[in-house]
């Protein structure tokens, strides 16, 4: 194998290893438990099939957006694991304010007092498991290596 091929192979290996390391919070989770927790805690707003509420891109009279879908048609996969976790645990407004987004009127309540951190990660792993490979890869690339 020539030097240029070895460099290319090393870069591909490092990129794949980084994505795997960056996703470790979601790896090895019990997806059956995640589906059950999702049905119990999330489906009332985000839909039994992760479809979200109708007109989820249109704010209501108070400026609050309806619950978005968590399937591949939504934007959940556009966000890194930490934001998804914080959004669930702390609530939308607090999680976004911590990232410098002020004044966003989110309808997402904080679940940190209702479900454990491990349960949040398990729910997120279940949600991710429903996405097509391309969405999974795009979302994984947004996570920082650990």
| Digit-coded pLDDT (tens) for 16-46 | 333 444 567 888 999 999 999 999 999 999 9
Dist. CA 106–CA 92, nearest whole Å: 5
Query: What pLDDT is stored for residue 104 in this prediction?
Result: 86
The residue whose two tokens read 């192979």 is 9
Q: Rounded to 10 degrees, what is the CA torsion of 94, 137, 125, 57?
A: 50
Q: Walk me through the domains of the chain, giving residue ranges and CATH numbers.
A: 3-140 (1.10.760)
Q: Is 28 left (phi over 0), alpha (psi -120 to 50) or beta?
A: left
Query: What pLDDT is stored for residue 121 in this prediction?
Result: 96
């Amino acid at each position: 194998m020539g030097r240029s091929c070895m460099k290319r192979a090393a870069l591909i290996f490092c990129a794949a290893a980084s994505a795997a390391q960056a996703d470790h919070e979601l790896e090895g989770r019990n997806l059956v438990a995640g589906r059950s927790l999702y049905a119990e805690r999330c489906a009332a707003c985000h839909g039994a099939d992760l479809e979200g509420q109708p007109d989820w891109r249109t704010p209501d009279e108070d400026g609050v957006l309806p619950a978005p879908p968590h399937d591949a048609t939504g934007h959940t996969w556009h966000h890194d694991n930490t934001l998804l976790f914080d959004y669930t645990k702390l609530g939308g407004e607090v999680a976004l304010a911590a990232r410098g987004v002020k004044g966003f009127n989110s309808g997402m309540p904080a679940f940190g007092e209702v479900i454990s951190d491990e349960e949040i990660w398990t729910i997120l792993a279940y949600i991710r498991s429903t996405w097509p490979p391309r969405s999974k890869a795009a979302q994984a690339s947004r996570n920082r290596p650990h």
